[in-house]
Structure 1
């Protein structure tokens, strides 16, 4: 009887640990110097320089200051260069984010003139995030939103979520959930941004 009860408790704990809605724990983070060297090691580019005073345009990305993943540079999302942009919210602990990773990498290679920006969202392990982004080949800038400051202004439904931002800085499309193919990403970029 006790063996059955212990087995039931162990099974329940195992299932709870795999729950996709579980919030990640908050372990100690690496020192900034360690993160900077990791970013270089995994080939992640510098984040763009933005003006912190740039205001949000109507229907645009919020005037939110986020730190670059693996550096101390601060990026104002509202101040990103005015060009077609794909903004993808992800976390290294997110299974669907891992599933869509090759499609984002391929989309970056296919979409000339389109900027990509990753937002490492609600992720307590920036060192693992850098390693993940590097290993899957996401050679574009990433910022950190560990405290979910974009939750309200972007109405983030969950991870992954991708925002299509036009050359005027307006969010013209949102895709909640993972991309299922490169073609799906390319079609949405064409539909929302007019690029292929």
Structure 2
């Protein structure tokens, strides 16, 4: 499986500021406000990440499924390869989706990538790799499947290689027929 490394030259490790000033960010799907819920065992980490587009920060522990979370970066070639499958899933409306722009020092290029690839779902920024330990992220891409109780049912590390593979994972891990 191909995956991108997690270290990038020129990454200052400083959180992005002025996200609303990023060209095109207003064209991305806004991050929704989610009601506060208690963290669950084997669930998403209790951290909040800023929205790449408009909308509030997203507290991951509040999220419930069926949910597909894709960890990506605009500099990651395999992330570009799997983007059409994720875009098609988002269009189906069968599950909630969230993108996490991971370890990415160029939010303006991330916005451009999400727009060009038709990733019509909310995206948050994790420039400081806060999810690394909880989801055991070696580097993007990574796709997590979260059930209706908020538990992480499965984590696929590496690139998704076909729509059929993604559809099979949805059915097997979340009981969702695409």
Output the CA distance in 1 between the equivalents of 2:33 and 2:163: 29
Partner residue, 1:58 = 41
Output the CA distance in 1 between the equivalents of 2:174 and 2:55: 31
Partner residue, 2:153 = 172
Output the CA distance in 1 between the equivalents of 2:8 and 2:82: 21
Higher relative CO (Cα under 8 Å, sequence separation at least 6) belongs to 2
Q: 1:79 aligns with which of 62, 72, 79?
A: 62
Output the CA distance in 1 between the equivalents of 2:32 and 2:158: 26
Output the CA distance in 1 between the equivalents of 2:126 and 2:37: 19
Partner residue, 1:109 = 91
Structure 1 contact 91–159 (Cα < 8 Å) conserved: yes
Larger radius of gyration: 1
Q: 1:34 aligns with which of 21, 38, 51?
A: 21
The two structures, once aligned, show a CA RMSD in angstroms of 2.1
Higher helix share: 1
Partner residue, 1:16 = none
Normalization by structure 1: what TM-score?
A: 0.80
Q: CA deviation at 1:113?
A: 3.3
Q: 1:119 aligns with which of 73, 78, 100?
A: 100
| Residue 79 to residue 22, structure 1, CA distance change in 2 (3 Å) | closer
Q: For 1:138, what is the secondary structure of its paired residue?
A: coil
Structure 1 contact 89–118 (Cα < 8 Å) conserved: yes
Q: For 2:21, what is the secondary structure of its paired residue?
A: helix
Structure 2 contact 19–53 (Cα < 8 Å) conserved: yes
Q: CA deviation at 1:72?
A: 6.3
Output the CA distance in 1 between the equivalents of 2:120 and 2:66: 17
Normalization by structure 2: what TM-score?
A: 0.88
Output the CA distance in 2 between the equivalents of 1:66 and 1:136: 22
5+ residue gaps in structure 2? none
Aligned residues: 172
| Residue 33 to residue 105, structure 1, CA distance change in 2 (3 Å) | closer
Output the CA distance in 1 between the equivalents of 2:17 and 2:45: 28
Q: For 1:149, what is the secondary structure of its paired residue?
A: coil
Q: CA deviation at 1:54?
A: 3.2
5+ residue gaps in structure 1? 1-18
Q: CA deviation at 1:107?
A: 1.8
